[in-house]
Amino acid sequence: MEPTPGTVSGAGAETPRGYVPAMLSNGRVCMTSDFLGGVPPPRTEERWGELSFGIFIEGLRLGPPDYALYGHGHYRLTLAIDGVARNELPDRWAQTLDTERARSVVVHDFGGIMRTVETFVAADADVIAVRQTFFGVDPARVAAGIDYAEPRGERVSGRWEDTAEGRVFDYTVFGRRVDHRRIAVRDAREGGAFVTFISFGESYAGTYAELAARHEAAWAGYYAASRVEVPDAALMRMRRMAEYQLQCCATDWSIPVGIFPSHWSGKIFAFDEMYAVLGLLSAGHLAEARRVADFRFATLPQARQRVGHASSTNRLFGYGARWTWEGMEDDPTEGSPPGFWLDHVFHMAAISRTCRLTAAYLDDADFLRECAYPVMRECARFFRTHLVCEAEDGTAFIGKCTDLERLGPARDRPFMTTCGVIRAFRDCADAAFSLGIDAEEAADWRATAARLEKSLPEKDGRFAATANDTDAVSMGTLAGYFPFPVFAKGHPKQTAAVDFFLAQGAKGGNMYPHGKNICPWYAATMAIAALRAGEGGRALPLIREAARSAGVWGEYWEINEPGVAEFRPWFMTAAGTCLYAIDQMLLQDADGECRLGAGVPPECTDYAFRLPSESGCEVEFEMRRGRPARLVLRVRHPAPGRRIRLILPDGKSLLAELDRKLVPLIFSTLPPSGRTQS
């Protein structure tokens, strides 16, 4: 079942409620494409959800104090018929964001003369391609192209030059670094179409058809990494949009919330990138997900330097590492303005969790040894050295720090942060054991995690957000199930905390104290926590609650409550969490088991998926007419003695040996016990 591309329409300058320009990106060049077929200038009368307009390139930013991404110009379409410029607005227009082919398609009606504008940012080159095609008029009477407005500002110096390659703008930006850049604009006629290529670097010399073919093949290959079929078109569109947003934000370094000045200028939050990695991993996009762990490993020296201490016996070693709260491409310095958010520490747990899960999905011992574990170990050492407080009676706890921002600063024994530290200690100890190293430290990490678990704040039989405020309604109280699973399914205090938050969620359902509903990031988090609690029936309604706030394209926002609170369309964190929630509803990794259809309602009798598992194998499953019809495991590294326990939708347990690359399980031949050595 293929998702239906989103289309919006209007007349003249009219846009529908909630309209924002489409995002087109290859993870390096990111642009906003509007209903007129161009890129709107940086400031217009309507700010469309506080989204920054323009063309931006990840990694190219100004200096302190904001380290803001700077724009690389904008453009509008030009049209002349019989030599007479036609600058009027179209009578009617329709814009489609085709997520399958990653392009915007705009149709304009000029009193019977029709123009179709196709725009995409090439997947494999820093080139924007624009093709204008006309109907109802002889193309020989038409002249069409673009009017490109160069980047301007007191830190920009450059000039245009006409060359054999087209118009070229060579410029220098005196930003965080001195950046020497080139924009090349080349017009061409291909058949009856007018084509413009905007290159950021050397001019693109090929054809539109060649570039489009490579672009579409790259996106098709990306989407082919997994397969989901459910009889719910809205859910299918939701999943595809999440995949689209994540690929658009996946840079050569890591995955920021968005490559726009309005989205913290493309700076990188370890907490948010964890949700991107979860979504990418669950959907099979392992290479894209791995970039994050690679980025953290590459910036490990800087992170260790921040907490290192020079001595004759232990130079810059043993004290762990601490990454910035708002990171930049090489993570040289803190990118955040001053604020109590700098007292967060749970982002270090997110880094550890990201590395552990990436290693699990990749099932790559070399990656664990050489990349993931060195980062995880420094996170654990940081927590052990700097964060764990110990009383004379042996009690261990995490002292005051900023937990979720909505709670404010200086929260004592914060639940979410403590769960993150516990999970980091346990993950690191498990990794050390599997690698056969650091046995003494690993034993201490396990013991400390056990003591921290006993110090978690609670009230009335449920875990509480902090020791300061046990009545607070905080998403952080879900953390022991997600995103830092500390407890197994059915833990009474954690399950009670989930029930409490789900009942009170509208009171704390947004990141900020704005709005009246639940933002998509939080709704998806609630769905995953409900799955972990064993309450799978709650997952789908919560995922649909996340879909409620989707924008006109189905895009994810930070908060989208029209007339109440409207912040940041194209918000990556929500996309990553929702994608993970949908995939976990179908294939849930928890407590050392894979639960098939854990959140699928009983009335859904026909569905299928092909998704990777934390166990290091890919699971292909089909349910037809309410009965399992197909189950195949594809194993990356088969070995005698490797096993996976699968829980079927009817609750039966199935234990399979992962001793060869392909493990087909034929249901009609299963013994009554539901166990197999196949």
The total of other beta-carbon atoms located within 10 Å of residue 157's CB is: 11
Answer yes or no: are the C-beta atoms of 318 and 308 closer than 8 Å: no
Q: Are strands 643-647 and 593-596 parallel, antiparallel or unpaired?
A: parallel
Co-location of 136 and 38 in the same domain = yes
Q: ∠ at Cα 103 (247, 72), nearest 5°?
A: 75
pLDDT at 525 (0 to 100): 95
Does 662 reside within a domain? yes
The CATH number linked to 31 is 2.70.98.50
Look at 194-203, 228-237, 321-330, 499-508 and tell me which has the smallest mean pLDDT.
499-508
The CATH number linked to 460 is 1.50.10.10
* Domain end (from 223, 247, 267): 223
Between residues 245 and 331, the one the model is more confident about: 245
**If pLDDT is split at 50, 70 and 90, which confidence band does 515 have?**
low
Please state the rounded mean pLDDT for residues 626-645: 93
Co-location of 23 and 159 in the same domain = yes
pLDDT at 473 (0 to 100): 87
Number of domains in the chain: 3
Q: ∠ at Cα 51 (48, 56), nearest 5°?
A: 140
Please state the rounded mean pLDDT for residues 18-26: 95
Co-location of 315 and 219 in the same domain = no
* Domain end (from 173, 198, 223): 223
Answer yes or no: are the C-beta atoms of 243 and 579 closer than 8 Å: yes
Does 421 reside within a domain? yes
Please state the rounded mean pLDDT for residues 545-560: 91
pLDDT at residue 559 tops 90: no
Does 677 reside within a domain? no
* Residue-number span of the structural domain to which 120 is assigned: 6-223
Answer yes or no: are the C-beta atoms of 147 and 78 closer than 8 Å: yes
**d(Cα 422, Cα 486) in Å, to the nearest integer?**
7
Sign of CA dihedral 87, 89, 91, 96: positive
What would the pLDDT profile of 476-485 be if each residue is shown by its tens digit? 999 999 999 9
Does 568 reside within a domain? no
pLDDT at residue 209 tops 60: yes
Answer yes or no: are the C-beta atoms of 120 and 212 closer than 8 Å: yes
pLDDT at residue 243 tops 80: yes
**d(Cα 281, Cα 291) in Å, to the nearest integer?**
12
Residue 269 token pair: 């939050």
Co-location of 351 and 485 in the same domain = yes
What would the pLDDT profile of 456-478 be if each residue is shown by its tens digit? 999 999 999 999 888 888 899 99
**d(Cα 618, Cα 358) in Å, to the nearest integer?**
14
**Cis? peptide before 562, omega within 30° of 0:** no
**If pLDDT is split at 50, 70 and 90, which confidence band does 510 have?**
low
Q: Which residues of 447-470 are buried (b: 16+ CB within 10 A; e: fewer)?
A: ebbebbbebbbbbeebbbbbbbbe
Q: Which residues, listed in sequence order, are joined to residue 32 by a DSSP beta bridge? A: 23
pLDDT at 408 (0 to 100): 84
**If pLDDT is split at 50, 70 and 90, which confidence band does 554 have?**
very high
**d(Cα 185, Cα 152) in Å, to the nearest integer?**
17
pLDDT at residue 308 tops 60: yes
Answer yes or no: are the C-beta atoms of 53 and 42 closer than 8 Å: yes
Q: Are strands 458-459 and 643-647 parallel, antiparallel or unpaired?
A: unpaired
pLDDT at residue 1 tops 50: no
pLDDT at residue 239 tops 70: yes
Co-location of 344 and 201 in the same domain = no
Between residues 174 and 406, the one the model is more confident about: 174
Co-location of 57 and 178 in the same domain = yes
What would the pLDDT profile of 366-398 be if each residue is shown by its tens digit? 999 999 999 999 999 999 999 999 999 999 999
Give Cβ neighbours of residue 301 (< 8 Å, ≥ 6 apart). Answer: none
The residue assigned the tokens 């920054």 is 52
Co-location of 364 and 489 in the same domain = yes
Taking the model in full, what pTM does it have? 0.95
CA-CA-CA-CA torsion for 530, 536, 540, 541, nearest 10 degrees? -60
Co-location of 193 and 50 in the same domain = yes
**d(Cα 606, Cα 569) in Å, to the nearest integer?**
33
The residue assigned the tokens 């003249």 is 12
Answer yes or no: are the C-beta atoms of 322 and 350 closer than 8 Å: no
Does 126 reside within a domain? yes
Co-location of 214 and 315 in the same domain = no
Co-location of 491 and 599 in the same domain = no
| Nearest Cα residue to 33 out of 90, 83, 106, 93 | 106
**Count of H-run helices and E-run strands, the chain:** 14, 31
Does 413 reside within a domain? yes
Does 648 reside within a domain? yes
Give Cβ neighbours of residue 678 (< 8 Å, ≥ 6 apart). Answer: 656, 657, 663, 664, 665, 666
The residue assigned the tokens 């088991």 is 593
Co-location of 321 and 218 in the same domain = no
Between residues 309 and 89, the one the model is more confident about: 89
**If pLDDT is split at 50, 70 and 90, which confidence band does 671 have?**
very low
Does 93 reside within a domain? yes
Give Cβ neighbours of residue 560 (< 8 Å, ≥ 6 apart). Answer: 18, 49, 519, 549, 550, 551, 566, 567, 569
pLDDT at residue 174 tops 90: yes
* Domain end (from 469, 495, 521): 495
| Nearest Cα residue to 54 out of 179, 206, 183, 163 | 183
What would the pLDDT profile of 517-530 be if each residue is shown by its tens digit? 788 999 999 999 99
Distances (CA, A) of 676 to 626, 643, 667: 22, 11, 10
The residue assigned the tokens 């609650």 is 545
**If pLDDT is split at 50, 70 and 90, which confidence band does 260 have?**
very high
The total of other beta-carbon atoms located within 10 Å of residue 252's CB is: 12
| Nearest Cα residue to 49 out of 559, 505, 500 | 559
pLDDT at residue 184 tops 90: yes
Co-location of 218 and 317 in the same domain = no
Residue 523 token pair: 């709704």
pLDDT at residue 274 tops 80: yes
Helices (H), 108-232: 208-223
Q: Report helix, strand or coil for 129.
A: strand
